[in-house]
Structure 1
Amino acid sequence: MPRVSQTVFAPWDDPTEKPLIRFQNVTKRFGTFVAIDDLTLDIYEREFFALLGPSGCGKTTMMRMLAGFETISEGKIELAGQDIGHVPPNERAVNMMFQSYALFPHLSVWDNIAFGLKRDRKSKAEIDARVDEMLKLVRLEKFARRKPHQISGGQRQRVALARSLAKAPKLLLLDEPLGALDKKLRQDTQFELMDIQETTGTTFVIVTHDQEEAMTVASRVAVMDEGRIMQVATPAAIYEHPNSVYVADFIGDVNIISGQTNASGTDTYRLSWAEGQQPVTATSDITFSEGQKAHLAIRPEKIRISTDQPVDADNKVQGKVLDIAYLGNLSTYHVELPGGQVIKAQTANTRRIARRDITWEDPVWISWNATAGVMLAE
């Protein structure tokens, strides 16, 4: 497991901190197609930064521009204060680890890790010491003489990581690095990656479409769509305080209730969402005008489900159970409300039960507090 730091790491909140990487109004075009659209972003030293988004959103193009494999159409990228727009890939203090790992099949694990150091004409003593250090870091000392085909997928991934870190780059780029691993191994490897990143102090930028992976490993996440960054924040802030319906919907499971707002006191609104139904009450830091269209985003785990009408809830609606997804540790209930909207409510399965209290077609009540959701304008 990764070590827990005693001090809060948040250089992005310190105005005196200088970013390691700066994207300044960067645009990248392929013919008439705009892959990156006027993007500005700062990434700090020692960050584990995740670029997250669907296929084609521009995250890999951003990484390839950092690595020097793509040229910028407009704008500027700085690394440690230096404009790297015209610096060739082999002269950048940047290394890239590919999803395929790209290990040399005819070389041993030791020689794969030593490859870049030998090309830089380091002395034998330097190479021996550095490779041994990297083998220890990724816990592969016993496998040094094996070839890539003689070790597991997870071990090959660690060899590729050791080789990428051997030359001590300022920045390591990881393109879907865990994509080839099965789910259980991915989860274990995520914590190994975090531990290695913290030990070396190298800045990691990871490209992934796996939201769970991004939320696990990253100090901050940039959610992307169509060449633009929709939100940059810590995983907790992205999850609990998304700034748009797109981000709320992309990260985790969410219910979206749309309607018209009416002010109901300081920072409190009533949202009229369905004809014949009581408006729902929600708090918001954002100011909404009277009658403005708004969207209330509520996570399923924030919604309670019961067979009896709750007495102390800010919001309660009766519905009927359509579906139940049993996931072992959790159960997700899909509840159809009057008017047809389906709301998901999640409960933790903390007890072993032979029979469900709530089953398909049951009439149920769902309820939540006014502070449970986030009101969004778009």
Structure 2
Amino acid sequence: MAETVFAPWDDPAEKPLIRFRNVTKRFGDFTAIDDLTLDIFEREFFALLGPSGCGKTTMMRMLAGFETPSEGSIELAGSDIARVPPNKRAVNMMFQSYALFPHLSIWDNIAFGLRRESKDKAAIAIRVEEMLKLTRLEKFARRKPHQISGGQRQRVALARSLAKAPKLLLLDEPLGALDAKLREATQFELMDIQEKTGTTFVIVTHDQEEAMTVASRIAVMDEGRVMQVATPDRIYEAPNSVYVADFIGDVNIIAGQVSASGPGAFDLTFAAGQTPVTAASDIAFSDGQTAHLAVRPEKVAIHTAKPEGVENLLSGKVLDIAYLGNLSTYHVELPGGQIIKAQTANTRRLSRRDITWEDNVWVSWTKTAGVLLEK
């Protein structure tokens, strides 16, 4: 039996859990969020991604109830939540600092919110034990926060946030304080916990790899606007603008003038004296229009001898080599000064380099390897 793919955003019958409708948020003369409309569905792991100051934390604070929109509405499960105070929302927020109580044990930290709701002791104990098990912290229950590691404290904060079974959990840069290896492990833990609980997670991050790893969909933001909302693979393979292509991963951007060269294909003239490159595109461009071709380095092949019968073949000189263990990225300068990055996988141990600095090489890519963008 084929596994059903989780994609409620493609189903017109699905109702979103969260709806931003024409939301604007101003602080004095500064517009932090600019006429934003966005849907987030139940059980999604949704990432708000963008540089500092793009408005992602403001959006999260409005969901949590710490800020109210200047214009527009925010709905949670069909109800407008603009005037609902933070403690009355079915929303919990996990802060970057984790904000644990240092004098309370891990067990009591997790129980804190439940006790404030004056649930009976037996029910609290059952729920805390469930949360300890979910976050694999059973054997640390009696310890204080300073007696456990950063990664474990992160899980305590998560357990405490999930204890009250919120409809929505907001995570503000939750892995910012962890080192790279632990971050990676914790990303998979977060995904696992999110799947087990079925809670909708919205994460704010400026780390593109983190967003690509954990999210069902990503909203790439810039200056208070959402530039594109899509699944990680669509954002990477089919960005809708140079900004999104450039923000996610490494990319070559070649700007020039296009002219039609056949059905759904265009020639891009990008430098005097250079052969135009060809790109396939579903977008109709007019002749002479300025366009940008975005090609990922791993889709660019590098050759030491001139190959026969390949598309988009350009000659250049190796300017720089970045050796990343599993990959090598070659920066190749074309005669007009344009730099093209080509990436190769290091599948065997390098005893010597075939290609080194100052070498004359050829780079090529297929006409379907890149995305032709209008803006």
Place the TM-score, normalised by the shorter chain, in its bin: over 0.9
Q: Do 1:48 and 1:220's aligned partners in 2 also have CA atoms closer than 8 Å? A: yes
What letter is aligned with 1:74? E
Which ranges in structure 1 are unaligned for 5 or more consecutive residues? none
Tell me what 2:44 maps to.
47
Distance 1:274 1:95 in 2: 54
Q: Do 1:268 and 1:283's aligned partners in 2 also have CA atoms closer than 8 Å? A: yes
User: Which piece of structure 1 moves more, 281-290 or 5-14?
Assistant: 5-14
Which ranges in structure 2 are unaligned for 5 or more consecutive residues? none
1:215-226 equivalences in 2 (<5 Å):
215-226=212-223
Q: Do 1:61 and 1:70's aligned partners in 2 also have CA atoms closer than 8 Å? A: yes
1:367 and 2:364 are equivalent in the alignment? yes
Tell me what 1:106 maps to.
103
What letter is aligned with 2:245? A
Give, in angstroms, the shift of residue 313 of structure 1: 1.4
Tell me what 1:346 maps to.
343
Distance 1:197 1:53 in 2: 22
1:147-226 equivalences in 2 (<5 Å):
147-226=144-223
| 2:262 partner SS | coil
Tell me what 1:255 maps to.
252
Distance 1:69 1:313 in 2: 57
Cα deviation 1:219-259 (Å, max 9, x = unaligned) = 00000000000000000000000000000000000000010
Runs (4+) of structure 1 exceeding 2 A deviation are none
Cα deviation 1:85-107 (Å, max 9, x = unaligned) = 00000000000000000000000
Distance 1:360 1:120 in 2: 66
What letter is aligned with 1:187? E
Q: Do 1:310 and 1:367's aligned partners in 2 also have CA atoms closer than 8 Å? A: no
Tell me what 1:311 maps to.
308
1:83-98 equivalences in 2 (<5 Å):
83-98=80-95
Distance 1:353 1:151 in 2: 41
Distance 1:108 1:144 in 2: 7
Tell me what 1:72 maps to.
69
Distance 2:308 2:16 in 1: 51
What letter is aligned with 1:209? H
Q: Give 1:334's match in structure 2, choosing from 321, 324, 331.
A: 331
Tell me what 2:268 maps to.
271
Give, in angstroms, the shift of residue 312 of structure 1: 2.6
What letter is aligned with 1:58? G
Tell me what 1:36 maps to.
33
Give, in angstroms, the shift of residue 375 of structure 1: 0.1
Give, in angstroms, the shift of residue 6 of structure 1: 2.6
1:25 and 2:19 are equivalent in the alignment? no
Distance 2:343 2:100 in 1: 43
1:231 and 2:228 are equivalent in the alignment? yes
Distance 1:136 1:205 in 2: 23
Q: Do 1:24 and 1:77's aligned partners in 2 also have CA atoms closer than 8 Å? A: yes
Distance 1:7 1:181 in 2: 34
Give, in angstroms, the shift of residue 26 of structure 1: 0.2
Q: CA RMSD in A?
A: 0.7
| 1:72 partner SS | coil
Give, in angstroms, the shift of residue 49 of structure 1: 0.1
Cα deviation 1:97-142 (Å, max 9, x = unaligned) = 0000000000000000000000000101100000000000000000
Q: Do 1:53 and 1:224's aligned partners in 2 also have CA atoms closer than 8 Å? A: yes
Give, in angstroms, the shift of residue 311 of structure 1: 1.2
TM-score scaled by structure 2? 0.99
Q: Do 1:261 and 1:291's aligned partners in 2 also have CA atoms closer than 8 Å? A: yes
User: Identity, % of aligned pairs?
Assistant: 81
Give, in angstroms, the shift of residue 314 of structure 1: 1.1
Distance 1:257 1:377 in 2: 12
Give, in angstroms, the shift of residue 319 of structure 1: 0.3
